[in-house]
C-alpha cells in the first residue's frame, strides 16, 4: 500500500469535502498503516518500524488537495 499509493490525489478527491476530520486507520500488524500515514503526511515512502501504541498526525494536505481540486473544477466549468 505504501509504495503502491502512487495516485494519492485520486484517493483523497474521492473523500467528501470537509474542513477537518478525524480519521482512524486500524488494521493488522504490518498492515502498512504507518506507511500510509506518513505517505499522506510527507508524500514520500518512509521505511516504518513496528508501532508501539499508536501514531497520530495532523495532515493539512487533505484540505489543500480539496482547494486545488475545487479550483481545477471551477476552471473546467469556465472553459465550457
Ligand X SMILES: Nc1nc2c(ncn2[C@@H]2O[C@H](COP(=O)(O)OP(=O)(O)OP(=O)(O)O)[C@@H](O)[C@H]2O)c(=O)[nH]1
> Are 72 and 65 contacting, i.e. CB atoms less than 8 angstroms apart?
no
> Considering only 3-11, 15-23, 51-59, 71-79, which stretch makes contact with Mg ion by CB under 5 A?
51-59
> Nearest approach, Cβ of 22 to ligand X (angstroms)?
18
Q: Confirm or deny that 2 is annotated as ligand binding.
A: no
d(CA 21, CA 38): 17
Nearer to ligand X, 19 or 29 (CB): 29
d(CA 79, CA 20): 31
> Considering only 7-15, 16-24, 34-42, 57-65, which stretch makes contact with Mg ion by CB under 5 A?
34-42
Amino acid at each position: 500500500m505504501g509504495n503502491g499509493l502512487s495516485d494519492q490525489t485520486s484517493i483523497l478527491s474521492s473523500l467528501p469535502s470537509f474542513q477537518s476530520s478525524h480519521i482512524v486507520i486500524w488494521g493488522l500488524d504490518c498492515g502498512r498503516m504507518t506507511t500510509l500515514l506518513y505517505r499522506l503526511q510527507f508524500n514520500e515512502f518512509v521505511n516504518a518500524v513496528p508501532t508501539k501504541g499508536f501514531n497520530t498526525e495532523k495532515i493539512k494536505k487533505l484540505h489543500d488537495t480539496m482547494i486545488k481540486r475545487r479550483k481545477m473544477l471551477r476552471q473546467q466549468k469556465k472553459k465550457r
